[in-house]
Amino acid sequence: MGDSTSDKTSRYFGSDGSTPPTRRRFLDYLLGSSALATLGAIVYPIFRFMSPPQVIESTESSVIAAKVAEIPVNSGKIFKFGNKPGILIRTASGEFKAFSAVCTHLECIVQYRGDTKQIWCACHNGQYNLNGKNIGGPPPRPLEEFKVNTRGDDVVVTKA
């Protein structure tokens, strides 16, 4: 009629003697899980920000940069060469020259200045001559030079 001590023990403890799940244990589990999830939500974006993105190099070796009539004498034009910009320059003598438009100092975009007849980087006043050689400012290396050909009315730029 009455419960024996062993029956009470098996009701409150598992058959192996472990304690049954309680409300407090469940809440501790929830609190620990949410703290871990919050930590992950903070650490993951920081990790993604600090790891550099994968740069996929363009497989294109030549592009049509412009039409001949688009570029007046002693001017320049930025064009897209794969995933990086290039600069096409028509010198005062009418010759076409093309370079990477990425400054070798801090990777700013360079531009052509007709008044000085130089390629100029506005970030730190880097200067290049019309052969792409660094002649002033902090750029450590010359610009990468590309080959330029005209095919009919198109100006075609090819990696050297």
Q: How confident is the model at residue 38 (pLDDT cuts 50, 70, 90)?
A: very high
- CATH 2.102.10.10 positions along the chain are 62-159
Fold of 62-159: Rieske Iron-sulfur Protein (2.102.10)
Residue type, 3: D
Q: Does the pLDDT of residue 123 top 80, yes or no?
A: yes
Q: How confident is the model at residue 61 (pLDDT cuts 50, 70, 90)?
A: confident
The answer to whether 111 and 119 are in contact (CB under 8 A) is yes
Residues 6 or more apart whose CB falls under 8 angstroms from that of 5 comprise none
What number of other Cβ atoms are within 10 A of residue 155's Cβ? 23
pTM score of the predicted model: 0.62
